[in-house]
Structure 1
Amino acid sequence: MTRISSTNPAKIELHLHLEGAAPPAFIRGLAKEKHIDIGGIFDEDGNYKFTDFWDFLRVYEAATLPLKSPQDFHRLTLAVLEESARNGVVYTEAFISPDFCGGRDIGAWKEYLHAIREAADIAQAQMGITLRGIVTPIRHFGAAKARETARCAAETAGDWVVGFGIGGDEKSGHLSDFKWSFECAREAGLRLTAHAGEWGGPESVRSAINDLNVERLGHGVRAIEDLALVDEIVEKGIVLEVCPGSNVALGLYPGIRQHPINALHERGVKVTVSTDDPPFFHTTMQKEYENLADAFDWDDGFFAQLAKASLDAAFCDADTKARLQKTLEQAHA
């Protein structure tokens, strides 16, 4: 069995939902402070409780109810980044939804974003972790609300808001319904990704590529069911934001050894590793690395290459990449 270093350093994470990374204790405490009833979303051990992906979406949205103000998101961002830094993450791109940050009102969104960025600056100074934002509409909220979210993204695009994506129920509507929103984001200079190929199968991946013209795919793992599609992904250099622990926890695959990440890599696909919504799935970046090492004999050298490839796929600017590249080189020397 291959073992990686217990403190395997300098990880790059490209697929993390800010609200979905909220520790259960944080949400319980915030709900208690505000006297908000969020229902029975925790098990007897205090962890998030759900039965399947769609129940997970329900619990996720219930857990956002106590997040009512920019200050709440400031506190959330610090809590999330502290946990990520503890697991060796030096750079994170987080999905942030104006749906949960001011109800897609541009003025309110800017206030929430300012609070999140303030917290990110503190975390970078104190913990050595860098955060950038990917604005994300919620697919099952519909295309009209996604257009409002795209306008929020376009208004705040720049050195910190670097990307645009889409999450939510992959079986709700069609990705082509969101073409206007993605074009709006592209015209504002944002890089594009989309959740696809998790629950929707290969056809969802193909739609994300053809209808939205993305350069990264959130999950994307079910492309393995169509090898011609895999070849197309390789040819176009599309990067997969793979979240193995999430896929296993939600029952997409029975175990890590049955997960296709290694098969996709061996066919030439550019894969990265992320946690998605880590407290929901009882995972961390360190656990993801350890599980992959055990399942596929990936060693420290492999993970050093993975970190570099993940940084290459990041949406941040060249100066940020250059700084982080030095961090990777020092950590993996």
Structure 2
Amino acid sequence: MTVADLKKIELHIHHEGAAPPAFTKQLAHEKKMDLSKVFTDDGGYAFENFVHFLSVYEAATSVLTGPEEFARLTSAWLEESAANGVVYTESFISPDFCGGGDAGAWREYLHAIEEAASASEAKHGITLRGVVTAVRHFGPEKSRASSLCAAETAGDFIVGFGMGGDEGQFTQGDFAYAYDQAREAGLKLTTHAGEFGGPESVWDAINDLNVERIGHGVRSIEDPDLVKELVARQVTLEVCPGSNVVLGVYPDFASHPIQKLRDAGVRVTVSTDDPPFFHTTMRREYEMLEKAFGWGEADFAEITKTALDAAFCDADTKAIVAKRLEKT
């Protein structure tokens, strides 16, 4: 068995961003929509930088216009994740893409996603839980609607609240109301920071939003005091090395700080972010980390244990996942 064959946990993947290009093309064909500018000649997603990526992402998600499409999407990417050895995953799901933030429509979309997830679990042995996600560049007011959707549907399936989008728009603290609302509903909290925003964005995330996890967070390595603070608070980083390399945060895997963060005692996990956009899979992430840092089974076992500890799901679900991991 190679390290790529190990069973895995993924905590940072965007629901719409996991859509295989072939799936998006098929939906566009069915709806007679022209998405030719979204794809490269070889069939991948076409973008030049992070801001352009966001616009391509939103264009690609435009084919997802109803609950039925989201059910199909859920089935498609969970099958791919399971084929890569993932036995538990948490995805970022945005009410803005599921009914435009309307609470009633959100429940319909969520029901379709849950049904598809349940079928995938029975068929492929992969458990999905949802982290409702505000889109940062849509602004604080929109985030309050997303947070309310999260609070009203918190439970076994919706287990967390987070925020993605353009880190250059607004501040973390501008979204404090939305986070307080989610926290009061019992949801666990995460936010994207320390990717393009630098270490100061991570300081803002932990001080202004008091999150338990950070999406990316890798540029924390630039501030030794911040690294010590992350260790002291036991904040977990949802690290996506392949994404960071493709988007130019680091030139290659060998330059990525994930090993330095581990050495400093920071809790790190491994995820794919938006796998088809970044030409990656969980198998490839494992293979590249093995190649860059010489990681073996013991290293990945530690990463997986950290991910299970940091998962937002309840204790019963963690126990089920732990048993699956034992069968590796």
Q: What TM-score results when the alignment is normalised by the length of structure 2?
A: 0.99
Moved more, 4-13 or 167-176: 4-13
**Does residue 220 of the first structure (1) align with residue 217 of the second (2)?**
yes
* 1:330 to partner: Cα distance: 2.0
Aligned length: 328
* Partner SS, residue 110 of structure 1: helix
Does residue 171 in structure 1 map to residue 144 in structure 2? Answer: no
Q: Distance in 2 between matches of 1:175 and 1:54?
A: 19
Distance in 2, matches of 1:325 and 1:311, equals 8
Matched-pair contact (CA < 8 Å) for 2:239–2:258: yes
Q: Does the CA contact (< 8 Å) of 1:38 and 1:65 recur in 2?
A: no
**Could you tell me which of 258, 261, 264 is aligned with 2:261?**
264
Return the letter of the residue paired with 2:83.
Answer: R
Residue 305 of structure 1, CA deviation = 1.8
1:290 paired residue among 264, 279, 287 = 287
The equivalent residue for 1:278 is 275
Counterpart check, 1:152 vs 2:133: no
Amino acid at match of 1:202: P
Deviation of 1:10 (Å): 1.4
> Which structure 1 residue ranges, 5 or more long, are not aligned?
none
CA contact (8 A) 2:28 2:35 kept: yes
State the one-letter code of the partner of 1:218: G
Quote the residue 2:130 is aligned against.
133
Identity across matched positions, percent: 62
1:211 paired residue among 208, 211, 232? 208
Cα shift at 1:7: 5.0
Q: What is the deviation of 1:37?
A: 2.3
Given candidates 207, 227, 230, the residue that maps to 2:227 is: 230
Whether 1:322 and 2:313 are equivalent positions in the alignment is no
Task: Answer whether contact 2:3 2:297 (CA < 8 A) is retained.
Answer: no
Residue in 2 aligned with 1:35? 32
Residue pair 1:159, 1:316 contacting (<8 A) in 2 also: yes
Report the secondary structure of 1:240's partner residue. strand
Q: Does 1:117 align with 2:114?
A: yes
8 A contact 2:4–2:284 mirrored in 1: no
CA apart distance, 1:6 = 5.8
Q: What amino acid sits opposite 1:66 in the alignment?
A: V
2:314 and 2:48 mapped to 1: Cα distance? 40
In the alignment, is residue 64 of structure 1 matched against residue 61 of structure 2? yes
Distance 1:225 1:103 in 2: 38
Partner SS, residue 104 of structure 1: coil
Deviation digits for residues 148-188 of structure 1, max 9, x if unmatched?
10110011001110000000001101111100000000000
Unaligned runs of 5+ in 2: none
Secondary structure of 2:58's aligned partner? helix
- Give the SS at the match of 1:165: strand
> Which residue identity does 1:169 align to in structure 2?
D
How well do the aligned residues superpose, as a CA RMSD in angstroms?
A: 0.9
Aligned equivalents of 1:122, 1:53: Cα separation in 2? 34
Tell me by how many angstroms 1:327 deviates: 1.2
The alpha carbon displacement at 1:301 in A equals: 1.7
Output the CA distance in 2 between the equivalents of 1:38 and 1:7: 33
CA distance in 2, matches of 1:255, 1:7: 19
Asked whether 1:54 is paired with 2:51, we answer yes
* Higher mean C-alpha displacement, 296-305 vs 85-94: 296-305
**TM-score (normalizing by structure 1):** 0.97
